[in-house]
Amino acid sequence: MENSNRDFLSSPKIIEHYSLLQDIGVFSYIDQLNSEIKEYQSLLFGAAEIFNRTSIDDIMDATVWQISNQYLPSFIAFVWKPLQNREDVTIKGYQNYKLVDLALNISNISPFEPFFHENREPVLYSALKKMMVNNNEEIKIIFNNLDVLGPELLIPILGPSGLYGIILVGAKILTGAYTSSEIIFLRQLMSFVSQAIQNHIHYEHSVRDVKTGLFNHGFLTTRLNEEISRTRRTGLTASLVVIDVDKFKNFNDSYGHLAGDRVLEYLARTIKSSVRTDDVPSRFGGEEFSILLPSTDGEIALTVAERLRKSVLAMQVPWDPPLPQVTISLGLVSFNKDEDVTSDDLIHRADEALYHSKETGRNRTSVWQGPLPIKNAQ
């Protein structure tokens, strides 16, 4: 592009009529076109970066990089609904491309949904506040909390399911207010972000359990088959843990199905916090869960299982009236390249170990030992 400009400007005909072309605005128009071309190149580059990401967190990181690289805002904050059927939100704050704690206190973005259903574009925060603040106390509280940060722009992340989240963008550090063309650029960028998030949500719905957010049984089976093949290639050992809530029927019968759902929800959170990034926590169905532990031998897997069991034993599930202490029983099986097994074989063996835990007192981990008797961890 720069070489083409130099060739154009050095043409004898251009030099001959330079003053005329300058007076009628040809050169300024060329500058404007070059600026727009660079902006579209930046937009397409940003879109490619965003669509290449494979998780919501990665999409957020790529979006932050694009916005920060263009405008260098004082901060960016994502307020995001990780589960579209829940009101709960998570918050990620960034300054200078890095994650920071922005101390933002907001737990619900639903009050913004009607506005952005009608107005689907980035909006100046001050204008939005004037339009939305009324006698609704909930909205007043939300804006009071947002005022602490002092955002300049508020950008919706929208899709067919409604409002996925909002992005708060602080004032630019080096230059003035956001111009109308910059807001248009952000709107175009966010259309790519929303589509990438929508694609990811659709994929997540196909592999995750709706109630707990853990992977579903079908995804576990696929990953378990992949891990069996990997152990044969690498010679490494992997492990599978199956988990069952002890006397779960009592929660449903004595306290109601909503109480039972709450137990499953808190158990899923505890499982997530107890596993590593590469582990595969899933829900079989009902009150039964599993964790695939890639590249993990039996000794380490037993440590992971026991750590989880003790975490559940310390877990408090809020309910009125208070619920009995939740405990779990676990079954563990390990496998390597020397064993000719299928995913069904491994699940069956882990279930046998789990059944042994149930039969010998519950609230314990048992290990499948092949031809040897199943061993309790305690």
For the chain, list the domains and their CATH numbers: 53-206 (3.30.450.40), 217-376 (3.30.70.270)
Catalytic residue list: 287
pLDDT at 22: 72
Residue 210 burial (CB count, 10 A): 12
Please indicate, yes or no, whether the overall pTM of this predicted structure exceeds 0.75.
no
pLDDT at 360: 93
Residues in the chain: 378
How far is the C-alpha of 216 from the C-alpha of 287, rounded, in Å?
Answer: 13
Compute the half-sphere exposure of residue 283: CA atoms within 13 Å on the CB side of its CA.
Answer: 18
Alpha helices in 275-372 (DSSP H): 298-313, 343-359
How far is the C-alpha of 329 from the C-alpha of 245, rounded, in Å?
Answer: 7
pLDDT at 329: 96
3-state secondary structure string across 46-93: HHHHHHCCCCHHHHHHHHHHHHHHHHCECCEEEEECCCCCCCCCEEEE
Task: Give the mean pLDDT per block of 10 residues along the chain (378 residues).
Answer: 61 74 73 69 72 80 84 87 66 86 83 86 88 79 87 84 84 85 82 81 82 91 94 94 95 92 94 91 92 95 95 93 94 92 94 94 92 60
pLDDT at 373: 54
pLDDT at 292: 97
